[in-house]
Structure 1
Amino acid sequence: MRSVKASIVGSALWGSACASLYPGQSSVNHTCQLQTPYLSCSPQAYPNVTDSCCTETYGGLVLATQFWSTYTGLESQGQVLPKDTWTIHGLWPDFCDGGYTQYCDLSRQYDPVPVPNTTDGKTTGTIVPPYTGPSIGTFLEPFGKFDLLAYMNKYWVNQGAPNGDFWGHEFSKHATCFSTFDLPCYGPKYKEHSEVIDFFETTVAYHEILPTWGWLAAASIHPSNSTSYSLTQFQTALKSGFGAMPYIGCAGPRYNETEAGRGTMDNGRTVLSEAWYYYHVYGRVQGRQGLPVDASINGGGVSNCAKAEGVVRYPLRTVGSEV
């Protein structure tokens, strides 16, 4: 799931029920080895200039996103969090101007609880029908991707519902809005759900090169229920590791709602919860050739956390929630 950023709500937020991002696109002649892998959001990254199956031309500002969660709510069912690492949230295609779209292909809608439940987030928008079929996790089995399924169950963990529900949400809301995961790109011999597997493998690959827990630990920043940190400490550690400033998200009470912050103008939240890493990518998103860019590239904020010194908590996981 994703919190809507105020700077991107508006005409840029829209959806489509089309089976392809570019209606009429052929499923043949997408040999990407013959195409120049242009950088997304560059002047060459447009469908009338290059093959949109071979260069990301739709959601060219790519976000690899992670969670710091402290429990799952389904521990009794064996759904727990991995030790000493953050977990996957998703891989998102923002427009180059920082706006974004969602649920771009309702024929590939596998989200049991669509959020929002319309393609443009408005009550007047096209309804996104809840998915009632088998879990998207079952799609991996005919491809023999049991190792991938095991990895996802360990590192791509939902809160309050089965992991497969979360994966279905992330694919349907976000993957269908990348040009390089569009169905015509898979050719005339497309096997159903190939692009689902492709998206999961790609999301995992980005996660693997973003060791948020390790970057913070290297800066002596560890989860604690007794020590708090400053936003600048997180920013320095993660920018140093990533090579650009990520968006750092917080949950919990606002600082000026707490006893210590009462009367201040600082309304940032005080519990560390997310990190969003921004990229422009060369060629296909699946190629994993990302150029890190600052989260502020379009003038937006880089955090919703409190700015006061030493007030942001990085809490320990709940006992029994981590293995």
Structure 2
Amino acid sequence: MLATVAVTITLAARSVLAASASAPYFGKVFHGHRTSADSSSEGNIYPIKDCSAFIQDTPDSWSCHNTSVIRDECCFENYGVLLQSQFWDYNTTLLSIAVNGTTKDIVQAEAQSQIDLLYNDIKRTFTIHGLWNDLCDGSYRSNCEPSWEVDDARDNLTHLIGTEFNEPQLLAVMKRYWINTLKSNVEDQASVALWEHEYNKHGTCMNTLNPECFDSGYREHEQAVNFYKKVVEIWSQLDTFQFLAAVGIFPTVARQYKLSDVQNALSKAHGGEVYVGCLNGAIDEVWYYHNLQGNVLSGTYRAIDSLTNSTCGEKVWYIPK
């Protein structure tokens, strides 16, 4: 009887989720709709130098594909691999039940997790980790321009984003979906500490965010706020939960999935192989790799294959949050 109830709830939950509509965000469709295998902006919504002439006149304008030295620091990223990273902060207690629980434990946990999935969108969202820029060989440097860095204690990031730069919608999305986790390795567990860390570590290494690349009305920390906007924009097009749900892969404590099935679903949606990371045999992060044409804010992101091997086994748990 318990098993029948759990199966009924699970199927009903998946039916509702499959039919759910998306909501607009920044001119894109938030949560689950991409029309092509790139993540380019729909028009330049950023106060940045126009790179169209450079792209037209430069035959090797895609990052990591140049055959000569390119000196336009505003229209070509020298760190030419851009990867958008996401967390799946699964419930470790549910993993223990999946691996070691009794049939009754598993059925009850499955039924409750499917109900939670319906009523809490965080439980069906791969949250934001960041947007990283690697060198073309997959290595990276960090904290490249200390003078560009932000410090929440000094700059008050929530005030900076929401009030000084008048981005309340961006701030609201960041508060809800750019969530610090233990795996982010940021000592202060407040999410604002993760925002500070991600921009200072990676954003300050993006040469196309140089203040000289902005319009004449540049204001201090404008590149940081626009970096956050771009991270959210790219992430909003890469709805990992929906990519997996589209092929019938949902969080569950009742079974494992083949890693190859997970990778194939994500690769088909993205246009290139996607890195899948695991912790204790359960999916806990994904990375989407790109090359870039133009400025990191206004340019076109083209999917490429992952440069990192998965840390998962042949079969993986996809545990509910």
Change (3 A) 1:53 1:135: same
Change (3 A) 1:45 1:280: farther
Q: 2:313 aligns with which of 306, 313, 320?
A: 306
Distance between the aligned counterparts of 1:105 and 1:154, measured in 2? 29
Asked if 1:39 is matched to 2:58, the reply is no
- Tell me the equivalent position of 2:133: 93
Contact map agreement 2:247 2:265 (CA 8 A) in 1: yes
**Any gaps of 5 or more consecutive residues in structure 2?**
1-47, 93-119, 183-188
SS of the equivalent of 2:154 reads coil
| Residues 257-276 of structure 1 mapped to structure 2, 5 A cutoff | 270-276=281-287
- Tell me the equivalent position of 1:159: 181
Distance between the aligned counterparts of 1:209 and 1:31, measured in 2? 23
**Any gaps of 5 or more consecutive residues in structure 1?**
1-28, 73-79, 112-130, 253-269, 318-323
Higher helix content, 1 or 2:
2
Asked if 1:55 is matched to 2:76, the reply is yes
Asked if 1:146 is matched to 2:168, the reply is yes
| Residues 187-266 of structure 1 mapped to structure 2, 5 A cutoff | 189-252=217-280
- Tell me the equivalent position of 2:27: none
**1:113-153 deviations in Å (ceiling 9; x for gaps):** xxxxxxxxxxxxxxxxxx74344232212111111100111
Distance between the aligned counterparts of 2:228 and 2:150, measured in 1? 14
Contact map agreement 1:246 1:302 (CA 8 A) in 2: no
Contact map agreement 1:71 1:81 (CA 8 A) in 2: no
Contact map agreement 2:243 2:269 (CA 8 A) in 1: yes
**C-alpha deviation, 1:213, in angstroms:** 0.4
Change (3 A) 1:33 1:245: closer
Q: 1:173 aligns with which of 175, 189, 201?
A: 201
Distance between the aligned counterparts of 1:206 and 1:275, measured in 2? 14
- Tell me the equivalent position of 1:69: 89
- Of all paired residues, the percent bearing the same amino acid is 33
TM-score, normalization by structure 2? 0.68
Asked if 1:292 is matched to 2:303, the reply is yes
Contact map agreement 1:248 1:305 (CA 8 A) in 2: yes
Contact map agreement 1:306 1:312 (CA 8 A) in 2: yes
Q: How many residues align?
A: 236
The one-letter amino acid paired with 1:32 is C
Change (3 A) 1:288 1:275: farther
Distance between the aligned counterparts of 2:49 and 2:251, measured in 1? 47
- Tell me the equivalent position of 1:128: none
The one-letter amino acid paired with 1:293 is I
Change (3 A) 1:230 1:216: same
Change (3 A) 1:106 1:45: farther
SS of the equivalent of 1:64 reads strand
Contact map agreement 1:246 1:276 (CA 8 A) in 2: yes
Q: Return the structure number with greater relative CO, CA threshold 8 A, min gap 6.
A: 2
The one-letter amino acid paired with 2:282 is V
Change (3 A) 1:238 1:144: same
The one-letter amino acid paired with 1:148 is L
Contact map agreement 1:55 1:282 (CA 8 A) in 2: yes
Contact map agreement 1:81 1:154 (CA 8 A) in 2: no
Contact map agreement 2:91 2:320 (CA 8 A) in 1: no
**C-alpha deviation, 1:282, in angstroms:** 1.0
SS of the equivalent of 1:285 reads coil
Contact map agreement 1:249 1:272 (CA 8 A) in 2: yes
- Tell me the equivalent position of 1:104: 144
Distance between the aligned counterparts of 1:143 and 1:108, measured in 2? 16
Asked if 1:316 is matched to 2:320, the reply is yes
Distance between the aligned counterparts of 1:86 and 1:305, measured in 2? 17
Contact map agreement 1:135 1:164 (CA 8 A) in 2: no
TM-score, normalization by structure 1? 0.68
